[in-house]
Chain A
Amino acid sequence: MAQGRVFKYGDNVDTDVIIPARYLNAPSPEDLAKHCMEDIDIDFVKNVQAGDIMVGGANFGCGSSREHAPIAIRASGISCVIAASFARIFYRNAINIGFPILECPEAAEKINAGDKVSVDFSTGVITDETTGETFRAAAFPAFINGIIDAGGLLPYIKAKQEANK
């Protein structure tokens, strides 16, 4: 379950603006988070609070494969990202590190910046508490839920290797 205020962005939010390359040599997630989104929203870092939710349009997270992008978003306090669609590497990266993302074009269109939104991860139901509207995100396939339930890709592989011993 997540609940927070919404920071909303448009289509094709690329990983270069999520975390610019000039900060990719930062040593920790917290250091990356200090610069999250600054090239398109200089006030994001100042205003974001733990639990807040990011909403994007189509092709969210396109461009560079840098895993620093979902790491920076998570470290900034954002609890999950809802988008109309995700670029595939960002999608993999989020699942692999166990960071919740939800694909829901309707929610991405109708939720407004600043709305208070809650998300039930077990059902995929997204509730815009400001407008009263509810949406349902596409469920993950069982295989991907297996990775998420294991705590991410590495614990999943570790468990698999142990089982095969």
Chain B
Amino acid sequence: MGMTMTQKILAAHAGLPSVKAGDLIEARLDLVLGNDVTTPVAVKVFDDAGFTKVFDKDRIAIVLDHYTPCKDIKSAQLCATARDFAKRFDITHLYDVGCVGIEHALLPEKGLVGPGDCIIGADSHTCTYGALGAFSTGVGSTDMAAGMAAGENWFKVPSAIKVNLVGKLQKYVSGKDVILHLIGLIGVDGALYKSIEFAGEGVAELSMDDRFTIANMAIEAGGKNGIFPVDEKTMEYVKDRFQRPVVVYEADEDAEYEQEVTIDLSELKPTVSLPHLPSNTKTIDEVKGMHIDQCVIGSCTNGRISDLRAAAAIFKGRTVAAGVRCIVIPATQDVYLQAMKEGLLETFITAGCAVSTPTCGPCLGGHMGVMSEGERAVATTNRNFVGRMGHTKSEVILASPAIAAASAVKGCMASPEDLEG
């Protein structure tokens, strides 16, 4: 019996000729990631267990992105703990204020992750790097500590769902709409313990930024990872970035999938997720007119340059509606700089948006846009759980950058077409 792409990567990193779904294996890690929330907990368990060295100082990334620039004293203490650990072990890849970006936009951009890798990160959206053809999954802090100490960790080999993509996206439809549609289709636990393997001729139609957005939210369907085949676009993306040799894995023709789903990209409409689960999906036409108080454009899901371009195209020559607060957060310094060069920041500021340095901030209700009781946001983020962006009686609607921007201009849920003519 053949192996899926994920199974092949895991087998290679476990030094085994083959693996099958359900096997428990120990696999070598190419990179271990942590942030300012999860690293301090990992540091404590690392020290408590009596470890005195890390497996490879070049294969650990510590990204201080959640509460930075530090929002309060407690957050500053967390960053200090992470910084001290990085200094103690001379960790090469510490990203702090001034060079930090949101981890899952930053690591691919810096070339720290690439095709064929096996990666764990103490952040659930670590599955993002599957866009590059890597096996990449979110874990907890103890797993991070174990990875830093040993350079390996245990995995249960996942079975898979195959998602066949066909056709081509229409105007104002993006990777965000693809993944929200899929989560609506299979549910928030539809891929529990499984890998989501994307395939089909539609993959070639998706930009790398779209693929990052899609892989990023595999976890919101319960998935262990989401993964894309490696093609010309992937190779073009990693060409001047990724430092290690590219290893391309392909699923065997007789690989076994527990379920197959086909999505015709040309039939997709802009899709949103209403509170309080990402699976609570509707097309934009079903929710037009819903009141919003805030709009957040950014995050590890949708804070890349093409996301900002899509939003800026809507804001050009328009303004944010009275009564709506719109916050735009470029995901990395490079994205920020590029947006500046292209004049996107001027467009945002002229339209009445607040533009911030990279931070996860509002996505998790941390800072930079926390909501009060009864308020509702449209956000390009990834979760709309109870209390996610603030008060337990506030609400989040998940959407693409184009929909979020159009809604900010209109003052209620709207599509870009509602602004035309």
Contact = CB atoms under 8 A, between A and B. Distances in A.
Contacts of B126: 65
A58 interface: yes
Contacts of B370: 22
Interface in A137-156: 141, 143-144, 147, 152-155
B387 A20 contact: yes
B143 A92 contact: yes
A67 B142 contact: yes
Given A39-B392, A154-B146, A65 B193 contact: no
Contact of A63 (B51, B66, B385): B385
B189 A24 contact: no
B48 A17 contact: no
Interface string B352-380: 00000000000011100010000000000
Interface residues of B, number: 50
A96 B140 contact: yes
B223 to A, nearest CB: 9
Contact of B74 (A26, A67, A93, A153): A26
B340 interface: no
B365 A96 contact: no
A154 B46 contact: yes
A50 interface: no
Interface string A58-69: 110011111110
Nearest to B41: A67
Given A87-B189, A92-B143, A158 B386 contact: no
A153 B222 CA distance: 23
Interface in B10-51: 24, 37-38, 41, 45-46, 48-51
Interface in B289-346: none
B144 to A, nearest CB: 9
A67 B145 CA distance: 12
Contact of A66 (B38, B72, B150, B366): B38
B1 to A, nearest CB: 21
A119 B75 CA distance: 38
A161 B139 CA distance: 22
B146 A157 contact: yes
B67 A141 contact: no
Interface in B383-397: 383, 385-388, 392
B48 A88 contact: no
A17 B140 contact: no
A12 B189 contact: yes
Interface in B189-229: 189, 192-193, 219, 222, 224
B149 interface: yes
B189 A62 contact: yes
B222 to A, nearest CB: 6
A14 interface: yes
A25 B142 contact: no
A153 B146 contact: yes
Contact of B154 (A17, A20, A143): A143
B381 interface: no
B138 interface: yes
Contact of B77 (A27, A66, A68, A141): A27
A21 interface: yes
Contact of A25 (B51, B75, B154, B365): B75
Contacts of A64: 123-124, 364, 383
Contact of B387 (A12, A39, A154, A158): A39
A5 to B, nearest CB: 24
Given A63-B219, A67-B41, A144-B24, 10 more contacts: A12-B188, A24-B66, A25-B37, A25-B77, A67-B140, A67-B141, A87-B192, A97-B45, A153-B142, A154-B146
Interface of A: 12, 14, 16-17, 20-22, 24-27, 39-40, 58-59, 62-68, 71, 85, 87-89, 92-93, 96-97, 141, 143-144, 147, 152-155, 157-158, 160-161
Q: Sorted from nearest, which 3 A-B pairs have the closest CB atoms?
A: A154-B49, A93-B140, A67-B140
15 contacts: A12-B189, A16-B385, A16-B388, A25-B78, A59-B188, A59-B222, A62-B189, A63-B383, A67-B142, A87-B189, A89-B139, A96-B146, A153-B143, A153-B154, A154-B149
